Protein backbone atom coordinates (compact mmCIF):
# COMPACT_ATOMS: atom_id res chain seq x y z
CA UNK A 1 0.00 0.00 0.00
CA UNK A 2 1.29 3.44 -0.98
CA UNK A 3 -0.27 6.56 0.43
CA UNK A 4 0.22 9.81 -1.47
CA UNK A 5 -0.47 13.28 -0.12
CA UNK A 6 -0.25 16.33 -2.39
CA UNK A 7 0.34 19.88 -1.24
CA UNK A 8 1.33 23.23 -2.66
CA UNK A 9 -1.72 24.12 -4.71
CA UNK A 10 -3.40 27.50 -4.54
CA UNK A 11 -4.48 30.56 -6.47
CA UNK A 12 -2.05 32.55 -8.56
CA UNK A 13 -2.16 35.11 -11.33
CA UNK A 14 -1.15 34.26 -14.86
CA UNK A 15 2.61 34.24 -15.23
CA UNK A 16 3.13 33.16 -11.65
CA UNK A 17 4.68 29.99 -10.23
CA UNK A 18 3.74 27.20 -7.87
CA UNK A 19 5.56 24.12 -6.63
CA UNK A 20 3.51 21.04 -5.92
CA UNK A 21 4.76 18.30 -3.62
CA UNK A 22 3.60 14.72 -3.21
CA UNK A 23 4.73 12.87 -0.11
CA UNK A 24 4.72 9.08 -0.38
CA UNK A 25 4.42 6.74 2.57
CA UNK A 26 6.19 3.65 1.30
CA UNK A 27 9.91 3.02 1.70
CA UNK A 28 10.04 1.29 -1.70
CA UNK A 29 8.96 4.56 -3.32
CA UNK A 30 12.18 4.54 -5.32
CA UNK A 31 10.95 1.54 -7.34
CA UNK A 32 7.77 3.23 -8.57
CA UNK A 33 6.98 5.20 -11.68
CA UNK A 34 5.55 8.52 -10.51
CA UNK A 35 3.32 10.90 -12.38
CA UNK A 36 1.43 14.17 -12.13
CA UNK A 37 -2.02 14.33 -13.68
CA UNK A 38 -4.65 17.05 -13.80
CA UNK A 39 -8.37 17.25 -14.37
CA UNK A 40 -10.34 20.37 -15.12
CA UNK A 41 -14.15 20.52 -14.68
CA UNK A 42 -15.88 18.75 -17.53
CA UNK A 43 -12.64 17.38 -18.95
CA UNK A 44 -10.87 14.04 -18.80
CA UNK A 45 -7.90 13.48 -16.55
CA UNK A 46 -4.68 14.07 -18.46
CA UNK A 47 -1.05 13.32 -17.79
CA UNK A 48 1.16 16.31 -17.13
CA UNK A 49 4.53 14.71 -16.45
CA UNK A 50 6.02 11.38 -15.41
CA UNK A 51 9.33 10.23 -14.00
CA UNK A 52 10.90 6.78 -13.86
CA UNK A 53 12.72 5.38 -10.81
CA UNK A 54 16.05 6.40 -12.32
CA UNK A 55 14.90 9.92 -13.18
CA UNK A 56 13.90 9.77 -16.84
CA UNK A 57 11.11 12.29 -17.43
CA UNK A 58 8.28 12.71 -19.89
CA UNK A 59 6.34 15.98 -20.17
CA UNK A 60 3.13 16.86 -21.96
CA UNK A 61 3.50 19.26 -24.88
CA UNK A 62 1.04 21.68 -23.27
CA UNK A 63 3.40 22.32 -20.35
CA UNK A 64 6.80 21.59 -21.85
CA UNK A 65 9.29 24.31 -21.03
CA UNK A 66 7.12 25.58 -18.16
CA UNK A 67 6.67 22.58 -15.83
CA UNK A 68 9.42 20.37 -14.40
CA UNK A 69 8.91 17.08 -12.60
CA UNK A 70 11.48 15.79 -10.14
CA UNK A 71 11.75 13.29 -7.33
CA UNK A 72 13.76 12.93 -4.17
CA UNK A 73 13.92 9.23 -3.40
CA UNK A 74 15.59 9.81 -0.03
CA UNK A 75 12.66 11.98 1.05
CA UNK A 76 10.11 9.83 -0.84
CA UNK A 77 8.71 13.04 -2.33
CA UNK A 78 7.67 13.98 -5.84
CA UNK A 79 7.66 17.57 -7.06
CA UNK A 80 6.16 19.58 -9.88
CA UNK A 81 7.62 23.03 -10.45
CA UNK A 82 5.14 25.08 -12.45
CA UNK A 83 6.29 28.36 -13.99
CA UNK A 84 4.62 30.81 -16.38
CA UNK A 85 1.22 29.55 -15.34
CA UNK A 86 -1.75 30.14 -17.61
CA UNK A 87 -5.51 30.15 -16.92
CA UNK A 88 -5.70 26.90 -18.93
CA UNK A 89 -3.56 25.25 -16.23
CA UNK A 90 -6.44 25.59 -13.77
CA UNK A 91 -7.35 22.11 -12.58
CA UNK A 92 -7.17 19.62 -9.75
CA UNK A 93 -3.68 18.12 -9.76
CA UNK A 94 -3.07 14.55 -8.68
CA UNK A 95 0.05 12.53 -8.14
CA UNK A 96 0.09 8.81 -8.87
CA UNK A 97 2.39 5.85 -8.38
CA UNK A 98 2.75 2.69 -10.42
CA UNK A 99 4.94 -0.34 -9.66
CA UNK A 100 8.01 -0.65 -11.85
CA UNK A 101 8.43 -1.87 -14.50
CA UNK A 102 5.69 -0.19 -16.50
CA UNK A 103 5.41 2.21 -19.39
CA UNK A 104 6.15 5.49 -17.66
CA UNK A 105 5.40 8.28 -20.10
CA UNK A 106 2.68 10.88 -20.54
CA UNK A 107 1.12 8.81 -23.34
CA UNK A 108 0.79 5.59 -21.36
CA UNK A 109 -2.56 6.38 -19.77
CA UNK A 110 -3.69 5.90 -16.19
CA UNK A 111 -4.52 2.20 -15.89
CA UNK A 112 -1.11 1.08 -14.60
CA UNK A 113 -1.04 3.58 -11.75
CA UNK A 114 -2.37 1.75 -8.72
CA UNK A 115 -2.11 4.56 -6.20
CA UNK A 116 -3.47 8.11 -6.31
CA UNK A 117 -3.43 11.10 -4.02
CA UNK A 118 -6.51 13.12 -3.11
CA UNK A 119 -5.50 16.05 -5.30
CA UNK A 120 -4.59 19.68 -4.82
CA UNK A 121 -6.39 22.55 -6.56
CA UNK A 122 -4.50 24.98 -8.78
CA UNK A 123 -6.36 28.09 -9.94
CA UNK A 124 -4.76 30.56 -12.34
CA UNK A 125 -6.48 33.87 -12.92
CA UNK A 126 -5.95 36.15 -15.90
Using the predicted structure, report yes or no on whether residue 120 has a pLDDT greater than 70: yes
Half-sphere exposure of 40 (CA within 13 A, CB side): 8
Q: What is the pLDDT of residues 71-80, one digit of tens each?
A: 998 889 999 9
The pLDDT, as a whole number, for residue 109 is: 87
CB 45 within 8 Å of CB 37: yes
What's the rounded Cα separation, in Å, for the pair 16 and 82? 8
**pLDDT tens sequence across 37-84:** 999 999 999 999 999 999 999 999 999 999 999 999 888 999 999 999
Mean pLDDT of the chain: 94
Give residue 39's pLDDT: 98
DSSP code per residue over 76-92? TEEEEEE-S--GGG-EE
Amino acid sequence: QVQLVESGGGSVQAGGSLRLSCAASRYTYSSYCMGWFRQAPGKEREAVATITPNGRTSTADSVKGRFTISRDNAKTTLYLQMNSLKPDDTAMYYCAAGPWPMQCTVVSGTSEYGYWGQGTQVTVSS
